[in-house]
Structure 1
Amino acid sequence: MGYKVAVVGATGNVGREMLAILAERGFPVSEVIPLASRRSVGQEVSFGDKVLKVKALEHYDFSDTDICLMSAGGTVSKEWSPKIGAQGCVVIDNSSAFRYDSDVPLIVPEVNADAVAGFAKRNIIANPNCSTAQLVVALKPLHDRYGIKRVVVSTYQSVSGAGKEGMDELDRQTKALYSMKDPETKKFPARIAFNLIPHIDVFMEDGYTKEEWKMTVETKKILDPKIKLTATCVRVPVFIAHSEAVNIECEQPITADEAREVLRQAPGVLVIDKHENGGYATPLDAAGEDATYVSRIREDATVENGLAFWCVSDNLRKGAALNAVQIAEVLINRKLIQPRAKAAA
């Protein structure tokens, strides 16, 4: 028997990716319901070889729905996720609304799948920030083997992390510059075409941005509260896939060769690391793929037991939609939920 799955925010970048991944992975659905705001009602979205019409979130009854994949932003999630959970439907939320709630598990299945059992407290499971998700997939096997004490990470985050508006702005500005016109800036605080912006989300009192704070707090919650982490998050003119330059300091001695072998055996990681032109992963390589790619693995002689590496992942997939679907698969595979309704005819 299949599961009835609702996708909230089905017309957005991540919502559409969720629908695509559910179909790609043969998720056991009896019915898929795309939901969005009233202004999107009647729009068509694809699910495998089917075309589905979007319904209004505010008029939908979740009482016989098993799983809700929520990707409509923090404001919508704060209002609706508790209501949906109270109807017995498990919400897997892609926003930051509940990530820091002690009663809500924050899950990356390759890293802390066992923590998913805590979902029953509120019927809500949180998806981490896109930049955190790929980072902890790469850190987990190294932490298990060598004990990571400190992480320094610089991110190079694609415009799709800012949604369709971010992608559209890069496209418009690039076309304007090639046409010798002045590019208009709306979504980002500075021009993004042929530029870098060392600023993602709002600034906090200590000078860090909220995006950098998220990476610190989420890594501690998912992986280990004792890990110290500092991040610098940068928006770059790339459409899809986030990249990260990572330096770690470990408790145990670590070599590049050993780390390379540990990472090759790790779930969700694909090592591409040759000391030659093109012997590393780029955002273009990761776009549309499920893995977190790790390259440029080398020892960092500036600290004791130090290692440096480069990792790249599709932020719309592993950073959002894929991770959410993987969480749903964990719930099913571990028999933590059962279908509540008969399969649709």
Structure 2
Amino acid sequence: MGYKVVVAGATGNVGREMLNILAERHFPVDEIAVLASRKSLGTEVSFGDKTLKTQDLDTFDFTGWDIALFAVGSGPTEKYAPKAAASGCIVIDNSSLYRYDPDVPLVVPEVNPEAVDGYAKKNIIANPNCSTAQMVVALKPLHDRAKIKRVVVSTYQAVSGSGKDAIDELWDQTKSIYNPTDDYQAKVYPKQIAFNVIPHIDKFLDSGDTKEEWKMVTETKKIVDPSIKVTATCVRVPVFVGHSESINIEFEDFLDEDEARDILREAPGIMVIDKREDGGYVTPIECVGDFATFISRIRQDVTVENGINLWCVSDNLRKGAALNAVQIAETLGKRVLQKG
């Protein structure tokens, strides 16, 4: 017996990826509905070998549906998620709207699957920020062995994290540089992204941090351990898909780099590729379409008493969004719904 599943925002990058992953992982679906805004009504999307037509999110009745995967942004989520939840459908939300609500679990299944059990307070489960999701997958097994005191992370985030318009902007800017007759101005980003990097993701806060950096700090504390100190610098780079992170970790206890490598090799959701030779590491283009979070460049940081450096790469449309949402649904099924 399977589930009645709704995908809201099915025509967007993340929504389409959710459908792909549901099919790839053979999620037990008895019936599926794909929803979009009225302007995209009737657009066809693929689910395995089926072609589905989108229905209107505004008028859809969630009564009798088991799980709704939301990929519509905070504004529509605020309007429609409570409606779905009140009808008895469990919402797994990819926006930032509910991540910091104490009554809504924020879940990365490899890290805190037990948190799913708290869904019933609002019938909603939150998916973390893409940059946080891959980082905590790497942090948790190391934290279990030698408690983490502090994390310093610099991210190198793909434009797909900003949506389809950002992908188009990188493509069009790149073409315009090679063809000077094309005069393309920045629209999505405040500065040119082609052949450039921008140390600015989301809006600036009074502290000088950006909202993206604040998200990584706050979400890591909620998912892994509130005692961990985190400081982040988040940078947009001219890569289409795949977020990369340089992570420096300071532990309470000494952890040898070889033991860290062994721990990560055995950890769920992680693939270690770490050879000290040319090309013995993973870059974002190599992780596209993969389920794993890849770890490379594991080495001792001798500038602090108990430090480790590592390089972390993941497909941000998958582990950073769609895959994690589907994994939450799988965890929900095993721990709570017990179907399929």
User: What TM-score, normalized to structure 1?
Assistant: 0.97
Aligned to 1:61: 61
Show CA shifts across 1:191-217 (max 9, x none): 000000000000000000000000000
What amino acid does structure 1 have at the position aligned with 2:258? D
CA distance, structure 1, for counterparts of residue 338 and residue 194 of structure 2? 46
CA distance, structure 2, for counterparts of residue 121 and residue 127 of structure 1? 16
Q: Does 1:78 align with 2:81?
A: no
Aligned to 1:110: 110
Q: 1:215 aligns to what SS in structure 2?
A: helix
Aligned to 1:321: 322
User: Any conservation in 1 of the 2:166–2:188 contact (CA below 8 Å)?
Assistant: yes
User: Any conservation in 1 of the 2:2–2:339 contact (CA below 8 Å)?
Assistant: no
What amino acid does structure 2 have at the position aligned with 1:148? I
What amino acid does structure 2 have at the position aligned with 1:136? V
Aligned to 1:96: 96
What amino acid does structure 2 have at the position aligned with 1:182? D
Shift of 1:335: 3.5
User: Any conservation in 2 of the 1:63–1:88 contact (CA below 8 Å)?
Assistant: yes
What amino acid does structure 2 have at the position aligned with 1:215? M
Aligned to 1:25: 25
What amino acid does structure 1 have at the position aligned with 2:56? A
User: Any conservation in 1 of the 2:117–2:335 contact (CA below 8 Å)?
Assistant: no
Write out aligned runs for 1:148-187 (5 A): 148-180=148-180, 181-187=182-188
CA distance, structure 2, for counterparts of residue 187 and residue 333 of structure 1? 40
CA distance, structure 2, for counterparts of residue 76 and residue 337 of structure 1? 30
Show CA shifts across 1:261-314 (max 9, x none): 010000001000000011000001111101000000000011110000000000
Q: 2:152 aligns to what SS in structure 1?
A: strand
User: Any conservation in 2 of the 1:117–1:336 contact (CA below 8 Å)?
Assistant: no
Show CA shifts across 1:19-71 (max 9, x none): 00000010100111110111111100000010000000011110011000000
Aligned to 2:34: 34
User: Any conservation in 2 of the 1:127–1:324 contact (CA below 8 Å)?
Assistant: yes
CA distance, structure 1, for counterparts of residue 282 and residue 256 of structure 2? 21
Moved more, 321-330 or 179-188: 179-188
Provide the alpha-carbon RMSD of the alignment: 0.9
CA distance, structure 1, for counterparts of residue 155 and residue 90 of structure 2? 32
Q: 2:110 aligns to what SS in structure 1?
A: helix
Shift of 1:82: 1.1
What amino acid does structure 1 have at the position aligned with 2:291? D
Number of aligned positions between the proteins:
339
Q: 1:334 aligns to what SS in structure 2?
A: helix
Show CA shifts across 1:155-214 (max 9, x none): 000000001011010011011111123332100110000000000000000000000000
Q: 1:133 aligns to what SS in structure 2?
A: helix
What amino acid does structure 2 have at the position aligned with 1:17? E
CA distance, structure 2, for counterparts of residue 338 and residue 320 of structure 1? 24
CA distance, structure 1, for counterparts of residue 326 and residue 300 of structure 2? 35
Aligned to 2:208: 207
Write out aligned runs for 1:1-345 (5 A): 1-180=1-180, 181-336=182-337
Shift of 1:338: 5.6
CA distance, structure 1, for counterparts of residue 30 and residue 65 of structure 2? 10
Shift of 1:145: 0.3
Structure 2: stretches of 5+ with no match in the other structure: none
CA distance, structure 1, for counterparts of residue 70 and residue 279 of structure 2? 38
Q: Give every structure 1 segment of 4 or more consecutive aligned residues whose post-TM-superposition deviation is greater than 4 Å.
A: none
User: What TM-score, normalized to structure 2?
Assistant: 0.98
What amino acid does structure 2 have at the position aligned with 1:229? V
Show CA shifts across 1:56-105 (max 9, x none): 00111100110000000011111111111010000000000000000000
Shift of 1:336: 3.2
Q: 1:165 aligns to what SS in structure 2?
A: helix
CA distance, structure 1, for counterparts of residue 218 and residue 190 of structure 2? 25
User: Any conservation in 1 of the 2:117–2:336 contact (CA below 8 Å)?
Assistant: no
CA distance, structure 1, for counterparts of residue 258 and residue 118 of structure 2? 37
Shift of 1:337: 5.9
* Percent of matched pairs sharing the same residue: 65
What amino acid does structure 2 have at the position aligned with 1:99? R
Aligned to 1:343: none
